[in-house]
Amino acid sequence: MELICHRVSIPLKTPFVTSFGAQDYRVALVFEMKHKGITAFSEAVTDKGPFYSYEDNTTAFHIIEAYLAEHISDAPEPSEFLERARYVKGHLMAKAALEMLLWDYHAKEEGTPLYRYIGQTNGKAQVGISIGMATPEEMRKQTSKAVEMGYKRIKVKIKKGREEEIVRNVRSSIGDFPLSVDANTDFTLEDTDALRALDKFNLVYMEQPLDHDDIIDHAELAKRIRTPICLDESIVSTDRARKAIQSKACTVINIKPGRVSGFSESLSIAKMAREHGIHTWVGGMLETGVGRAFNISLASSAYIDFPGDTSPNEKYFEKDIVKNPFEMDDGFITPMEGPGIGVEIDRERLEKVTIDRVRLL
Ligand code: OSB
Ligand code: MG
């Protein structure tokens, strides 16, 4: 067994601005595992700093190196790895990176594309776009271009104090096209009036308005406003999703496999949500082609019913680390047909963007 962590830094085409800051590079941990003639890949969704959640690249690397890597040395099934890793509390993004590496490995071992390996599939993913904050002119331009390109839903980032101006501007640019907003935890219940003022824009949902680990206040907010609530940061497990659904804190869930300890938990959240009539979609974290391939495989699952934040690679990077980027056709992306995630690593490009590389096993 060989396990390598490549830390890469790739410039984004345009800086991505959210309520928690502006990002102009994607700094990612890409994992490569070689075992019994099979090479598997995965990517941690962490980035440079703990701004989306408390994990970042440094904590994820530390947890993986010190506590997790040894548990994949015999390439166990993903569920077996999670069982072995249960003694490590939290650090779900670190766990997800290795859990997904094992899904790619086992799908490749079977010679099956990951999107089929995980079970019932629609065969393709419905695609939406996540657009960062920018000047009003720029946001009008980007959102109307997204409609023309065939995206099935547009989400725009908002922050406290700019929410109404942003939504009014974008609404007037795209008419009644499906639109959502993502606050990335910028508000509190004291901002109820400001959030209620968005009701008139007929949003498909409002994503994570309140604190990153909150359920109770979201349930209260849901009673006070008409816009449906979608939870992202707050949903870290099936158990947390169950609590959110029971307390009526949300009617939509953004599933990011990299946030919830991987594919096993993602599928379990999606199945439970569908049983309760809760909508699900697959989010993104500006992943390279490696993480993107996982997201698109999951987004094509029959248990996912809403368009995700899974744009083609070219939205993010001039040149990705994969040779076979995704293309969008009529608002859909088809997962790769090769075994596992099906991406071919561009070794020359990977070499160029690598900051450092550590062999862990
Ligand atoms: O909250 O969904 C989010 C990007 C980085 C961190 C958090 C989020 C996002 C996005 C972009 O919205 C989704 C993507 O296009 O990858
Ligand atoms: Mg979000």
| Bridge partner list, 131 | 156
Torsion angle of the four alpha carbons 84, 90, 94, 97, in this order, in degrees rounded to the nearest 10: 70
Q: Which ligand is nearest to the CA of 23?
A: 1
Q: What is the CATH number of the domain that holds 104?
A: 3.30.390.10
Q: Are residues 172 and 320 in the same domain?
A: yes
Q: Are residues 149 and 274 in the same domain?
A: yes
d(CA 171, CA 175): 6
Confirm or reject: Cβ of 309 under 6 Å from ligand 1. yes
pLDDT range class, residue 263, cuts 50, 70, 90? very high
Residue 170 lies in a domain: yes
Can you tell me which residue has the tokens 């160029």?
352
Selecting among 256, 315, 319, 352, the annotated active-site residue is 256
What six digits make up the tokens of 127? 């695609």
Q: Are residues 141 and 275 in the same domain?
A: yes
Is 157 a known active-site residue? yes
285 Cα to the center of ligand 1, angstroms: 4
Q: Are residues 131 and 99 in the same domain?
A: no
Q: Which ligand is nearest to the CA of 230?
A: 2
Confirm or reject: Cβ of 185 under 6 Å from ligand 1. no
- CA 127 vs. chain centroid, Å, equals 13
pLDDT range class, residue 284, cuts 50, 70, 90? very high
What crossing angle do the helices spanning 263-275 and 289-299 adopt, rounded to 10°? 30
Q: Are residues 175 and 308 in the same domain?
A: yes
CB within 8 Å of 246: residues ≥ 6 apart:
none
Q: Are residues 327 and 348 in the same domain?
A: no
Q: Are residues 305 and 193 in the same domain?
A: yes
State which residues form the domain around 156: 115-333
How many CB atoms neighbour CB 70 within 10 A? 13
Q: Are residues 77 and 133 in the same domain?
A: no
pLDDT range class, residue 56, cuts 50, 70, 90? very high
pLDDT digits (tens, 9 = 90+) for 234-248: 999 999 999 999 999
pLDDT range class, residue 183, cuts 50, 70, 90? very high
Mean pLDDT, the chain, whole residue set: 98
pLDDT of residue 19: 98
Residue 339 lies in a domain: no
Q: Are residues 196 and 244 in the same domain?
A: yes
Confirm or reject: Cβ of 286 under 6 Å from ligand 1. yes
Q: Are residues 180 and 284 in the same domain?
A: yes
Residue 59 lies in a domain: yes
Q: Are residues 105 and 121 in the same domain?
A: no
Is 256 a known active-site residue? yes
d(CA 57, CA 354): 14
Alpha carbon separation from 229 to 107, 208, 319, 348 (Å, rounded):
35, 7, 35, 43
Q: Which ligand is nearest to the CA of 130?
A: 1
- In the chain, how many domains are there? 2
pTM of structure: 0.98
Selecting among 95, 155, 157, 315, the annotated active-site residue is 157
Q: What is the CATH number of the domain that holds 132?
A: 3.20.20.120
- Find the mean pLDDT for residues 5-23: 98
276 Cα to the center of ligand 2, angstroms: 22
pLDDT of residue 153: 98
Can you tell me which atom of ligand 1 is nearest the CA of 129?
15
Confirm or reject: Cβ of 316 under 6 Å from ligand 1. no
pLDDT digits (tens, 9 = 90+) for 21-39: 999 999 999 999 999 999 9
pLDDT of residue 138: 98
Confirm or reject: Cβ of 43 under 6 Å from ligand 1. no
Q: Are residues 71 and 128 in the same domain?
A: no
Residue 78 lies in a domain: yes
